[in-house]
């Protein structure tokens, strides 16, 4: 671990010197005026661009800030990810790539302002939403609640550490920081104003005693809780109807300045799901609407960069991890180059500059190189290069073996002979597991598919059983955020005479940067099992490049000791961004850990990324070919018309319904000629009239989904994201006639008193549902 930090530190030394020579600026203030923010008493429109310094190599920090400035931004908005700075409890690191104060000073040096969002929770498609994994060592940990004292105590310590770094840089002290955010989108999680008030107080106590505080939420939930003396801002995505988004806000805060604190310029990608984009016109349209209304904004992301190392997060339900690229389809792409969105923002902003203001010139992009194909000539099989084991009677999650990230191997022997077809039940393998008997691979479990069981071949007592589990990202959003890795509960054999829980394990914790700090036994040639591969390539001049991983299965890549992140053949990301400053003239070393056996251990550097090459292992559609739901013999529990227009609406039943399988059918559109159905979110209401949890929901069927032009599968109605939506197939050939049905397995029999629907939240009205039928039954539907 140490050498990993040192590399970061060395390479970043130059930037440190440059930014510490800053002249002290004059103190100022930033306050809330009547419908306007006031900078030193004058109306000020915040035009912010969000950057995440951990997602940008330090050598490029200055370039990315200058790019934002050239795009017309006057402010940089940042998260400060707790887990990135406190990887082990009590050991804070603000050096090198983690020197957030240097980043903020660089913002000021570029004549820009800063907005700081230190969490403790951030979301951001970042492991556990920026919570440190070691919180999970406490069995009953609660996060985002004042009721867990350990959590609150660690939160205060974290915020105090941020305060030491950044409080001197508040605008009132002459620094660039205009505002500091309290928590993040708390309204989408809970309504505990006491917790939010305590976090606010901890931010103040951390030294942010003068600066304006704010919080961000969604249009639909910012009023779910109260916290005084904290400005309210709203987040929404490209193409939103800005007036709708601020309607409730203006009602409740008629005199307050309006700000979209995260205007989503694009969207993030998951392994095995379609690449996300948001069109230029759609994006520019709502941005112009905000400028016309003098609504402040922050572009999330202005430049997304890369989630290097093990830091990518995941969403749930259904569990789905993020890819390493955080390109985000943002105006400034992953390699820091301007895109058509960048040009469009610049063009638009020309008409909205303050008197005397001009746009800064666009800095040149960094050179990009290609690297001819080269072979990784040596390999070190993982099973021959294991760390020392820990003995453990039971399987447990990796956090309890003091492991935060990476892979973990659980090894035991079969206590008795097993017959062919005996089931091995692993609860739960998080997130992807390979199973071996006496070294031979017999199967794979993938949490994305809900896999828990394998059928064993006949095997003798004493056969060695190995379960190698790879941790993908921890869930970073919603109620599923307590997401321990490895095997969380038990491993059982289910045979004709009953179940036997397997005990007596040797557990091998394989830390995420394992090959950097172990002397692995490499030998020439390739391996036919999970292995580390080592090779090198020569270059005459360093430059950015995109390593082509299309020949490889699943794992991680290191270049000259820098961890580039995870790759997976599923895509849609098939290349990995290598920043030029991490390369050197002459020989460069590459290590790849591949858990599948690669056919050909070669790599090449491409001059363009491949972020949109999906090779899914299962259909993306939630319907088998030819499968047709039969509803003729079913009676709906409720049917009727939804109201036209945007925003949440609730339907309450005359009598409750009970059952496990839900079918929601759209029978007609709001707009007469509209052939589609679409929906952003859907909740069931319980006996108390409150929303029921959706973590156990499983989408079993949808008769039509758009998966070509966009990622609009039906599970989007319970993915907790109001800006993503289910949409039936677009093209004339694939379009399905009404009705359009979705079937969900709720996981257990449930008493339901009504439902809540959110139509799509962008400006479009296509697919808005009018007529509906609601079915709920104990047994599965017929097809």
* Close Cβ partners of 529 (under 8 Å, ≥ 6 residues apart): 381, 382, 383, 439, 441, 597
Q: Cβ 745 to ligand GLA, closest distance in Å?
A: 27
Q: Which of 70, 122, 459, 529 touches ligand GLA by CB under 6 A?
A: 122
CA max distance for the chain: 84
CA proximity to 696, closest of 646, 766, 747: 747
Q: Cβ 524 to ligand GLA, closest distance in Å?
A: 44
Span of 65-73, 122-130, 238-246, 750-758 interacting with ligand GLA by CB under 6 A: 122-130
Q: Cβ 184 to ligand GLA, closest distance in Å?
A: 5
Q: Which is nearer to ligand GLA, 454 or 720 (CB)?
A: 720
* Measured distance CA(113)–CA(104) in Å, rounded: 9
CA proximity to 323, closest of 567, 578, 617, 123: 567
How many residues touch ligand GLA under the rule CB under 6 A: the total is: 9
Q: Cβ 268 to ligand GLA, closest distance in Å?
A: 5
* Measured distance CA(526)–CA(377) in Å, rounded: 7
Q: Cβ 81 to ligand GLA, closest distance in Å?
A: 10
Place of tokens 């829980």: 501
* Measured distance CA(511)–CA(201) in Å, rounded: 36
Q: Which of 184, 298, 670, 728 touches ligand GLA by CB under 6 A?
A: 184
Q: Which of 100, 123, 685, 743 touches ligand GLA by CB under 6 A?
A: 123
Hey, what are 124's tokens? 């951001």
Q: Cβ 716 to ligand GLA, closest distance in Å?
A: 14
Interface characters, 266-305, with ligand GLA (x: CB under 6 A): --x-------------------------------------
Q: Which is nearer to ligand GLA, 77 or 547 (CB)?
A: 77
Q: Which is nearer to ligand GLA, 184 or 563 (CB)?
A: 184
Q: Which is nearer to ligand GLA, 74 or 184 (CB)?
A: 184
Residue 50 known to be catalytic: no
* Close Cβ partners of 732 (under 8 Å, ≥ 6 residues apart): none
Interface characters, 432-461, with ligand GLA (x: CB under 6 A): ------------------------------
Q: Cβ 125 to ligand GLA, closest distance in Å?
A: 5
Residue 330 touching ligand GLA (CB under 6 A): no
Q: Which residue among the candidates 125, 185, 378, 705 is catalytic per the annotation?
A: 185
Per DSSP, the three-state class of 502 is coil
> What is the pairing mode between strands 649-666 and 523-524?
unpaired
Place of tokens 């190599």: 57
Residue 315 touching ligand GLA (CB under 6 A): no
Q: Which residue among the candidates 125, 183, 262, 705 is catalytic per the annotation?
A: 262
DSSP string covering 676-696 = --EESEEEEE-TTSSBPP-TT
User: Could you tell me the CA-to-CA distances from 406 to 52, 610, 657 in Å, in that order?
Assistant: 23, 25, 45
For helices 61-71 and 340-349, the axis angle rounded to 10 degrees is 50
Residue 262 known to be catalytic: yes
Q: Which is nearer to ligand GLA, 155 or 329 (CB)?
A: 329
Residues within window 199-238 making contact with ligand GLA, judged by CB under 6 A = 235
* Contact present, 342 and 743 (Cβ < 8 Å): no
* Measured distance CA(185)–CA(477) in Å, rounded: 10
Q: Which of 124, 161, 322, 516 touches ligand GLA by CB under 6 A?
A: 124
Q: Which is nearer to ligand GLA, 170 or 235 (CB)?
A: 235
Interface characters, 73-112, with ligand GLA (x: CB under 6 A): ----------------------------------------
Phi, psi angle pair for 93, to nearest 5°: -130, 115
Q: Cβ 486 to ligand GLA, closest distance in Å?
A: 25
* Measured distance CA(148)–CA(142) in Å, rounded: 6
Q: Which is nearer to ligand GLA, 121 or 537 (CB)?
A: 121
* Contact present, 46 and 115 (Cβ < 8 Å): yes
Q: Which is nearer to ligand GLA, 271 or 661 (CB)?
A: 271
* Close Cβ partners of 561 (under 8 Å, ≥ 6 residues apart): 3, 4, 7, 516, 589
Residue 125 touching ligand GLA (CB under 6 A): yes
Q: Which of 127, 148, 262, 594 touches ligand GLA by CB under 6 A?
A: 262
Residues within window 397-426 making contact with ligand GLA, judged by CB under 6 A = none
Span of 96-104, 121-129, 171-179, 670-678 interacting with ligand GLA by CB under 6 A: 121-129
* Measured distance CA(223)–CA(428) in Å, rounded: 37
**What letter would DSSP give residue 25?**
P
User: Could you tell me the CA-to-CA distances from 231 to 58, 115, 213 in Å, in that order?
Assistant: 32, 13, 6
Q: Which is nearer to ligand GLA, 11 or 724 (CB)?
A: 724
Q: Output the residue with the shortest Cβ distance to ligand GLA.
A: 123
Q: Which of 185, 217, 544, 762 touches ligand GLA by CB under 6 A?
A: 185
Q: How buried is residue 275: exposed, middle or buried, by Cβ count under 10 Å (0-12/13-18/19+)?
A: buried
CA proximity to 718, closest of 773, 778, 758, 774: 758
What residues are labeled active site? 185, 262
Residues in touch with ligand GLA (CB under 6 A): 122-125, 184-185, 235, 262, 268
């Amino acid at each position: 671990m140490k050498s990993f930090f040192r590399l970061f530190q060395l390479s970043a030394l130059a930037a440190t010197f440059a930014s510490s020579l800053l002249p002290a600026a004059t103190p100022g203030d930033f306050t809330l005026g009547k419908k306007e923010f006031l900078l030193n008493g004058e109306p000020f429109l915040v035009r912010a661009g969000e950057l995440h310094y951990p997602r940008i190599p330090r050598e490029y920090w200055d370039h990315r800030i200058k790019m934002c400035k050239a795009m017309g931004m006057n402010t940089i908005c940042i998260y400060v990810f707790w887990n990135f700075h406190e990887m082990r409890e009590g050991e804070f690191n603000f050096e090198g790539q983690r020197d957030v104060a240097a980043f903020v000073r660089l913002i000021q040096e570029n004549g820009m302002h800063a907005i700081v969002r230190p969490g403790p929770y951030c979301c951001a498609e970042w492991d556990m939403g920026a919570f440190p994994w070691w919180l999970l060592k406490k069995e009953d940990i609660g996060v985002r609640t004042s009721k867990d004292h350990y959590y609150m105590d660690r939160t205060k310590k974290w915020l105090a550490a941020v305060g030491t770094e950044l409080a001197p840089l508040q605008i009132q002290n002459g620094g660039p920081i205009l505002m500091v955010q309290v928590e993040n989108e708390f309204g989408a999680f809970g309504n505990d104003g006491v917790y939010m008030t305590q976090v606010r107080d901890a931010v103040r106590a951390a030294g942010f005693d003068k600066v304006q505080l704010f919080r961000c939420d969604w249009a639909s939930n910012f009023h779910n809780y109260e916290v005084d003396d904290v400005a309210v801002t709203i987040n929404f995505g490209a193409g939103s109807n800005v007036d709708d988004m601020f309607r409730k806000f203006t009602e409740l805060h008629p005199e307050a300045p309006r700000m979209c604190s995260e205007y989503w310029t694009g969207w993030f990608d998951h392994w095995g799901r379609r690449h996300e984009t948001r069109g230029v016109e759609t994006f520019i349209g709502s941005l112009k609407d905000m400028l016309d209304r003098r609504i402040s904004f922050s572009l999330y992301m202005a430049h997304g960069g890369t989630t290097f190392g093990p830091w990518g997060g995941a969403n749930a339900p259904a569990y789905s991890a993020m890819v390493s690229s955080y390109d985000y389809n943002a105006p400034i792409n992953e390699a820091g180059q301007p895109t058509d969105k960048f040009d469009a923002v610049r063009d638009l902003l020309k008409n909205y500059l303050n008197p005397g203001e001009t746009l800064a010139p666009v800095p040149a992009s960094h050179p990009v190189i290609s690297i001819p194909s080269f072979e990784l000539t040596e390999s070190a099989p993982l099973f021959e290069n294991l760390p020392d084991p820990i003995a453990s009677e039971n399987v447990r999650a990796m956090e309890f073996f003091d492991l935060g990230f990476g892979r973990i191997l659980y090894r035991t022997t079969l206590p008795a002979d097993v017959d062919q077809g005996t089931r091995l039940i692993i609860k739960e393998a998080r997130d992807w597991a390979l199973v071996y008997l006496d070294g031979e691979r017999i199967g794979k479990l993938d949490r994305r598919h809900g896999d828990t069981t394998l059928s064993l071949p006949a095997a003798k007592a004493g056969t060695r059983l190995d379960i190698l589990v790879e941790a993908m990202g921890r869930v970073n959003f919603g109620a599923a955020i307590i997401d321990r890795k490895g095997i969380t509960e038990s491993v059982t054999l289910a045979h004709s005479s009953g179940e036997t829980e397997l005990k007596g394990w040797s557990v091998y914790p394989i830390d995420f940067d394992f090959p950097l700090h172990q002397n692995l036994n490499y030998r020439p040639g390739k391996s036919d099992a999970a292995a580390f591969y080592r090779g090198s390539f020569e270059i005459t001049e360093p430059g950015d490049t995109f390593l082509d991983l299309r020949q490889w299965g699943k794992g991680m890549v290191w270049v000259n000791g820098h961890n580039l992140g995870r790759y997976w053949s599923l895509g849609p990301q098939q290349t990995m961004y290598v920043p030029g400053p991490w390369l050197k003239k002459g020989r460069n070393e590459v290590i790849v850990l591949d858990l599948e056996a690669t056919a050909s251990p070669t790599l090449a550097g491409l001059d363009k990324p491949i972020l949109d090459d999906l090779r899914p292992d299962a259909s993306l559609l939630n319907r088998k070919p030819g499968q047709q739901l039969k509803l003729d013999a079913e009676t709906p529990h409720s049917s009727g018309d939804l109201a036209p227009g945007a925003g949440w609406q609730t339907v309450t039943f005359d009598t409750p319904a009970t059952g496990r399988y839900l079918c929601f059918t759209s029978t007609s559109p709001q707009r007469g000629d509209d052939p589609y159905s679409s929906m952003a979110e859907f909740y069931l209401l319980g006996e108390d009239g409150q929303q029921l949890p959706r973590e156990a929901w499983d989408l079993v069927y949808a008769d039509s989904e758009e998966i070509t032009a966009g990622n609009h599968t039906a599970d989007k109605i319970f993915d907790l994201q109001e800006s993503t939506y289910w949409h039936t197939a677009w093209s004339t050939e694939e379009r399905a006639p009404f009705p359009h049905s979705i079937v969900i397995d709720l996981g257990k029999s449930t008493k339901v008193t009504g439902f809540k629907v959110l139509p799509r939240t962008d400006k479009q009205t296509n697919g808005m549902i009018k007529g509906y039928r609601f079915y709920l039954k104990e047994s599965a539907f017929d097809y």
